[in-house]
Structure 1
Amino acid sequence: MISCACKPWVKGLVFFAVVVGILGAMIGYDRGFREHSQPAWTSATPEMRFKYGSIGAEHDAGVPYWIFYVLPRIFPDKLLQDGKVAPGGYAALGVPWEQGQELPVGFTKKTIGFPRVANNCAVCHTTSYRVSAETNPVLVVGGPAHTTNVEAFFRYLIDCAKDPRFNADILMAEINRVTELDPIDKLLYRFFIIPITRQRLLEREAQFAWIYRPDFPDWGRGRDDAMNLTKYFMIRAPMDDTFGPTDMPSVWNLKKYDWARGHRMNYAGDSNDAYSVIMDSALGLLGAAPANKEDFLGQVKWLHTYLTQLPAPPYPFPIDRARADAGKPLFAAHCARCHASELTGRPLPLAEIGTDRGRLDSWNKGAAIKANQVVREMGLDRRGLVEEDLQGYVAAFLDGIWLKAPYLHNGSVPTLRDLLEPVANRPRVFWRGYDVYDQKKGGFVNDTPEAKRVGTRLDTGSRGGGNQGHEFGTGLSALEKEALVEYLKTL
């Protein structure tokens, strides 16, 4: 019989190793994966929750906070607008930023092991407007984010990751200038967080390849290429030659959409109902299946309830009531058939509207089937995307129309007054994303030196940017057009 009793020092060493392993696992979990609640202020009111509350995107799509913080300090040369360096850090992207807030509207901060920054729905659905160049901006939640350059933000993160300066030595030197991390976080950032973040950002480059194509114009402020985002991120489709930029939509008063009456969501009617749109948009922000399905569904339900009840914003400036009264019968004669009838909220044939078809070509029945399958495989239930080829664009509801500029699905007409002109008389080139409101024309100032400095140039002769079609009311006199615009302000 052989004795295998261990010597006391061996037992001690094993015990020590076990203790160290347990402590290491605890520290690793705490600093790498433990999820903390956001501060109470982020959900103190429904509006604050919409603007800053997490929807869970920090898990897979989040950027470590201190990396996010120092990127503009290291890479100011990569914040570009119309090919030129734009000063101001992330503010150069046109994001609405409230005074006193740490992050722009639509940017969330949550600690999952370490603080991370991600986005929620407000990043695309918060409008900024000013009375004049000297006044502070007014923010309207649920409105189209007409000032935000989403494409530039996507490119910025990727372009930073591709730069050899994105390394632990340079990033840690800059982080150490602005904060004092404890020894554990310093080690995690240097050897794990920075290298992994760079790798994850570089992995996105293939999915975003189409936004670097020289034959595709920039989206510019306030637009995205929504269905191509869905194709390349949700269903991982190979890149094709379609390009369909669209304006960010408003998402207030969603109760007006009634699925049972044939109403459809999105510009081309490719989604069945508001709940499906909210879920799919949230999944796009997450960039993966939800880490916590129950929490995710709770967020979607809350957003649906909030946006269903959120009223359209009333026109905040004086209205000439006599002129608006004169415009009401003009609206009934020239606009109501599509925008205040049984046709409202339903897709109309492209041949009838005549607008740019790029958005229609970027989506089809096969893509819808695949996208619905992906969501079902996540164990999520919704009516989903309409499994049909697209025929035209939805006749829009006009509540809050005063704040939805620029107009048409691709944002190719700057003001309501311009929309009442024949195509040949509409601006061929203008600048998007300036937030001083034009009370006379109904839209945003778009051609002054300051608008040109701040905004992004849209050439309506560019691909996906056509301003043709929707020539309704164009035969009215100048006084009648002014009266009609005045009435539209009341909706």
Structure 2
Amino acid sequence: MKTRCKCPRWLILSGLVLLVLAIVFGLVGWDRFLRDHGAAQFDNPDERFKYGSIGAENDAGIPYWIFYVLPRVFPDKLPKPGIGYASFGVVWEQGQELPVGFSKRRIGFDRVANTCASCHVSSYRSQPDETPTLVATGPNHTLDVEAFFRFLVDCAKDPRFNADTLMAEINLAADLDFIDRLAYRYLIIPITKKRLAEREGQFKWIYRHDFPEWGRGRDDAMNLTKYFMIRWPMDDSFGPTDMPSIWNLKKYQPEKGHRMNFAGDSHDPYSVVIDSALGLMGAEPKDKDAFLGQIDWLVDYLKNKPAPKYPFPIDAVRAAQGKAVFDAHCAACHASARTGTVIPLREIGTDRGRIDTWGKQAAIAANQVVKDMGIERKGLVEAPLTGYVAQFLDGIWLRAPYLHNGSVPTLADLLMPPAQRPQVFWRGYDVYDPVRVGFVVQGPAAERAGTPLDTRQRGNSNQGHDFGTALQARDKAALLEYLKTL
């Protein structure tokens, strides 16, 4: 005998309505908060490098409209009020929505994140009134990344970082629909504030008064890895380094004993790119296959991207004379089997701060973190650091300032005895000095654009690397001319 359902029809209908509403709200929530619309596509490899997503928007991304209004709401927290993100020295091309090295991707809502290009696109000018020439994969010597990190944390800690204040500014610039307005007010703004404020603990060392400012064009790379990737407690190490060039990475051949990074703490380009990308992402990749596909593209691009040619006139006769000087005084380290290998610190005599920020146990811990993500790579070198890598000199003209910590402004200064090198100079001005082979580092314009580097401060020593300092003036001039050709 069949039994009939005794549930009232209204209850069944109510249940169906609730089910439909739950599905609708679920789909709307997925679409507005989680749906990945994919990364923007680029036909030009340089454009993809400058603006393409590496997947950092998921965990490290900042909601676009919050990113947009922060300089407007907090001009007092900028290094130089009135010019927005340009005050951090970001490279910004005319007509572009975002600075170079910032990607935009919609994952539910538009988000902004950093890419490798934020630190690895150079700019230079021959005259102050000239439009800058950009060089993808070059060192960004104008970016004050420490000031940018502080800006984000300081904004999040400020009482003005609230829904009323930010929404008032967002509404002046954007016509958000009803759902997005609700989402920003009640979810996106509070969550972003919380997540940015949480970074303060990891950034404690950049607020230490006994550490000098990194300044433009530098970071404290291995401490960033130590405190973010392996989450070690803050110690007393401080090792600022210049932003490196990352062109022509195929020159590094591990089978020949080549090591990467300034102190030789990584095995190969693939490992360096993976670790750098993971640092930008701040978390395990959501889609590992897509992440590794992007890494493969980046490694291929960086291996085959040539160093830029010197853009100013070269005296061919003098350069030929300089080749002989180079062979006699420089080639033993910079054009030999030693190139790309670690030279002991006792032989170089440069600042040891960068070496002291990292070590064997840190490398073991970092390699384990990446292995636990299911990512295979040769990884970081699990051995004590003993010196600095003898650099390949391709494109050396654009890699000023010099030494691993960027403490010597020009190649001409590097050929001076350490006691005669500039003690204080200004980093971050992109007008080029073809005579001294480097950037202009003194004068009112350099002071307005740059940040000071005092070589008497910790981590900033300009001592060491006194090779070629005893050459005659004519030989130094010839050597400089030859170095322009590399």
Distance 1:319 1:430 in 2: 27
SS at match of 1:480: helix
Selected match of 1:264 from 256, 259, 263? 259
Distance 1:479 1:307, change over 3 A: same
Distance 1:95 1:345 in 2: 30
1:418 aligns with 2:375: no
Distance 2:130 2:220 in 1: 32
TM-aligned CA deviation for residue 477 of structure 1? 1.7
TM-aligned CA deviation for residue 3 of structure 1? 7.9
TM-aligned CA deviation for residue 483 of structure 1? 1.2
Distance 1:140 1:293 in 2: 30
Distance 2:99 2:26 in 1: 35
Question: Which deviations, in whole Å up to 9, do the C-alpha atoms of 1:298-327 show, x marking residues without a partner?
Answer: 011000000000000010100011111121
1:55 aligns with 2:50: no
Question: What is the aligned-residue identity percentage?
Answer: 66
What is the correspondence of 1:88-487 to structure 2 with a 5 Å cutoff?
88-487=83-482
Question: Which deviations, in whole Å up to 9, do the C-alpha atoms of 1:434-453 show, x marking residues without a partner?
Answer: 00000100000000100001
Partners of 2:427 and 2:450 within 8 A in 1: yes
Which amino acid in the other structure matches residue 288 of structure 1? Answer: A
1:31 aligns with 2:71: no
TM-aligned CA deviation for residue 205 of structure 1? 0.7
SS at match of 1:466: coil
Aligned to 1:9: 10
Which amino acid in the other structure matches residue 233 of structure 2? Answer: P
Distance 2:94 2:115 in 1: 19
Aligned to 2:68: 69
Distance 2:183 2:227 in 1: 32
TM-aligned CA deviation for residue 270 of structure 1? 0.2
Distance 2:318 2:169 in 1: 59
TM-aligned CA deviation for residue 333 of structure 1? 1.1
Distance 1:13 1:332 in 2: 87
Which amino acid in the other structure matches residue 69 of structure 1? Answer: Y
Distance 1:298 1:417 in 2: 42
Partners of 2:412 and 2:437 within 8 A in 1: yes
Partners of 2:237 and 2:353 within 8 A in 1: yes
Which amino acid in the other structure matches residue 296 of structure 1? Answer: F
Which amino acid in the other structure matches residue 222 of structure 2? Answer: M
TM-aligned CA deviation for residue 126 of structure 1? 0.3
RMSD: 1.1
TM-aligned CA deviation for residue 44 of structure 1? 1.6
SS at match of 2:245: coil
Question: Which deviations, in whole Å up to 9, do the C-alpha atoms of 1:94-141 show, x marking residues without a partner?
Answer: 011111000000000000000000011111110000011010000000
SS at match of 1:61: coil
Distance 1:448 1:352 in 2: 35
Distance 1:484 1:53 in 2: 39
TM-aligned CA deviation for residue 87 of structure 1? 3.2
TM-aligned CA deviation for residue 209 of structure 1? 0.7
Distance 2:153 2:208 in 1: 15
Which amino acid in the other structure matches residue 207 of structure 1? Answer: Q
Partners of 2:40 and 2:53 within 8 A in 1: no
Q: After the TM superposition, which parts of structure 1 deviate over 2 Å for at least 4 consecutive aligned residues?
A: 1-4, 37-40
TM-aligned CA deviation for residue 12 of structure 1? 1.9
Partners of 2:40 and 2:52 within 8 A in 1: no
Distance 1:462 1:327 in 2: 34
Distance 1:3 1:397 in 2: 85
Matched positions, count: 485
What 5-or-longer segments of structure 1 have no aligned partner?
Answer: none
TM-aligned CA deviation for residue 16 of structure 1? 1.4
User: TM-score normalized by structure 1?
Assistant: 0.98
TM-aligned CA deviation for residue 86 of structure 1? 4.1
Distance 2:121 2:440 in 1: 18
User: TM-score normalized by structure 2?
Assistant: 0.99
TM-aligned CA deviation for residue 38 of structure 1? 3.4
Which amino acid in the other structure matches residue 392 of structure 1? Answer: G
SS at match of 2:308: coil
Report which stretch shifted further, 479-488 or 414-423. 479-488
SS at match of 2:95: coil
Distance 1:18 1:462 in 2: 66
TM-aligned CA deviation for residue 479 of structure 1? 2.0
Distance 1:108 1:172 in 2: 23
SS at match of 1:207: coil
SS at match of 1:22: helix
Which amino acid in the other structure matches residue 46 of structure 1? Answer: P
TM-aligned CA deviation for residue 4 of structure 1? 6.5
SS at match of 1:59: coil
